[in-house]
């Protein structure tokens, strides 16, 4: 009882300071709300039983369609470790335009190398995909021909649920959800170690073994380098997945 009493006294002494800090943090935080549209293509193309290539293009628009936000091209080499695990080494180019109430000084480029592991599985009818990604990023300046080097780690968990039957087959709809968290690390990270979080829900349709379409909503919370501005981006996502098997095994 004596120890419990001391703990309660300590909590009472610390409470004003904790509430003051929380209030100050809330006061310092600035929210920037945006409506965006992301229109995307993804392809994993099998060349042999073990090797393949990844192709990807994304057109990201501010105010759904009217204004530019980002343009992204990404490619990579896939290696199938097992039937359920795939490693990818790749490169991405991203061009970002000023948008929102706290825009960048101008458009700027980014060159990115990434290493990725995808692991697939299922729990009864629910398909699961874990994606682990490390990124080495060279971000250009809008004002000068200089680059800043940053590191980032990402983890995504995606689940899919067939709406007809127990598996997602051709000409059938399904539901998809995912959450992905981004963490920055390294010497040049400022106050945004937490980089962003993406929460997503969609309805999908599998046309055939190669083509799948998803139409969904993405809630993106992104912390800018200052650490005080948080973007709350409500985003329409249209995603086409088109995977070609050049081995002819399917």
Q: Got the DSSP string for 65-88?
A: TTEEEEEEEEEEEEEESSSSEEEE
Percent of the chain with pLDDT over 90: 82
CATH code of the domain made up of 34-242: 2.40.160
Tell me the per-residue pLDDT of 81-136, one tens digit each, with 9 for 90 and over. 999 999 999 999 999 999 999 999 999 999 999 999 999 999 999 999 999 999 99
d(CA 136, CA 149): 7
pLDDT of residue 24: 42
d(CA 155, CA 178): 10
pLDDT of residue 191: 86
pTM for the model stands at 0.87
Q: Are 30 and 50 in contact (CB under 8 A)?
A: no
At 138, the pLDDT band (50, 70, 90 cuts) reads: very high
d(CA 180, CA 218): 11
Q: Tokens 């997945």 identify what position? A: 241
Tell me the per-residue pLDDT of 209-232, one tens digit each, with 9 for 90 and over. 999 999 999 999 999 988 899 999
Give the lowest-confidence range in 6-15, 197-206, 217-226, 231-240. Answer: 6-15
For β-strands 30-46 and 126-140, DSSP reports them as: unpaired
pLDDT of residue 19: 40
Q: Are 250 and 51 in contact (CB under 8 A)?
A: no
Q: What is the mean pLDDT of residues 28-56?
A: 96
Residues in the chain: 250
d(CA 214, CA 55): 17
| Residues facing residue 122 across a β-bridge | 127
Domain borders along the chain are 34-242
Tell me the per-residue pLDDT of 140-186, one tens digit each, with 9 for 90 and over. 998 888 999 999 999 999 999 999 999 999 999 999 999 999 999 99
């Amino acid at each position: 009882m004596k120890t419990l009493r001391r703990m309660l006294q300590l909590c009472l002494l610390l409470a004003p300071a904790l509430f003051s800090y929380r209030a100050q943090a809330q006061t310092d935080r600035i929210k920037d709300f945006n409506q965006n549209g992301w229109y995307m293509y993804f392809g994993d193309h099998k060349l042999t039983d073990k090797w393949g290539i990844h192709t990807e293009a994304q057109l990201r628009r501010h105010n759904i369609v009217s204004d530019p936000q980002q343009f992204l091209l990404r490619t990579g080499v896939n290696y199938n470790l097992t039937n359920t695990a795939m490693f990818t080494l790749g490169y991405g180019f991203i061009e970002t335009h000023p948008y929102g109430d706290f825009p960048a000084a101008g458009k700027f480029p980014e060159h990115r190398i990434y290493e990725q592991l995808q692991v697939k599985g299922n729990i009864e009818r629910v398909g699961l995909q874990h994606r682990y990604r490390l990124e080495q990023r060279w971000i250009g300046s809008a004002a000068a021909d200089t680059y800043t080097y940053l590191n980032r780690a990402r983890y995504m968990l995606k689940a899919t649920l067939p709406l007809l039957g127990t598996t997602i087959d051709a000409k059938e709809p399904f539901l998809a959800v995912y959450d992905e968290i981004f963490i920055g690390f390294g010497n040049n990270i400022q106050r945004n170690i937490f980089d962003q979080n993406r929460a997503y829900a969609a309805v999908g349709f599998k046309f055939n073994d190669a083509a799948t379409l998803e139409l969904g909503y993405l809630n993106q919370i992104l912390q800018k380098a200052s650490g005080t501005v948080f973007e709350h981006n409500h985003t329409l996502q249209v995603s086409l997945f088109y995977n070609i098997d050049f081995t002819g095994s399917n």
